Amino acid sequence: MKTNDLKNLSGILVIDKPQGLTSMDVVEEIKKVLRVKKAGHGGTLDPIATGVLPIFLNEATKVAQIFLEGDKLYEGVMQLGITTDTYDITGEVLATSDPNSITLEDVQRIIPHFIGEIQQSPPPFSAAKYKGRPLYKYARNGLIITKNPKTVRIYDFKVLEMNGAEVRFLLACSKGTYVRSLVHDFGQRLGCGAVLKSLVRLKKSVFTFDQAISLDEVKRLAKEDRISLQKRIIPLEKALEFLPKVIVNEESAQKIRSGIRIPTSSFLSWVRFQKLSLNPTEKYIRLATPKNELVAIIENPFMHPTNPYLTYFRVFPARNKS
């Protein structure tokens, strides 16, 4: 592959999503600029939000699900005294309330109710699906669907600053958490209503804001400096370093890539020989050659002790040696 040829690259490009675009808008822009065959994103951001949006290119799309399960970190601003149909500042105002009597101490007093495992329903204007259709399509036709609440985990929720009716906050949460819903519920508990005014995603799974590049910069580099743009694409091997690794020899690698099932007993012998200590609750394990070439992602055999063969989550072709 030529160094300036981007369309065949596999990896992850972390975009600082601009406000106003949907996550799929960004994917389509990247596909157009890089001319890649396959691309997908690693977790939806609302149009109002900016920040970390991992874009998976070509072979990397096969493992996007692993990163979708990762936790998230946000910095945002909520505005007290307003309730809207979308739970953010862009929606139709349903109610207003004077928030001037709300103090920082009042806000701090509510925070503990939103730490740990909480029950949460998605906003009526969201991509969550009901009978195969996104909720926002029902809502745009005047039909508000309330889905059953799901359990999400809030690891940290702290106020950074309060300026009048605006509260700037930091939020660390699990996948599936809707920040708009959290802000809406927070405002209801506070008794004055609240909407999300702005939101920046600082981290999604292992991807951080300092790795992000703007969409405009991607377009510029695609025209002027493709080698520099290529360097911004995180290789799969690098992105997956957080997963436990088991080394397989070239013969086993070839069998796996050919679709031949590998006995779990063989895997266990590799683990013993390499003196590895694997967490039985870790969902995925990566298999790599001694040269650190990615062979496959497998489901952790310790989670399926009765399965006589390894379960392949994704298998990757050998690198092109040319």
Please give the angle made by the CA atoms of 147, 66 and 77, to the nearest 5 degrees.
55
> Where would I find the H helices in the chain?
23-34, 64-68, 104-110, 135-140, 179-190, 215-224, 226-232, 236-239, 250-257, 264-273
Annotated catalytic residues are 46
Torsions phi, psi for 311 (to 5 deg): -105, 115
Mapping DSSP to helix (H, G, I), strand (E, B) and coil, where does residue 225 land? coil
State how far the alpha carbon of 270 is from the alpha carbons of 80, 245, 290, in Å. Answer: 57, 11, 13
Q: What DSSP string describes 250-268?
A: HHHHHHHHTT---BHHHHH
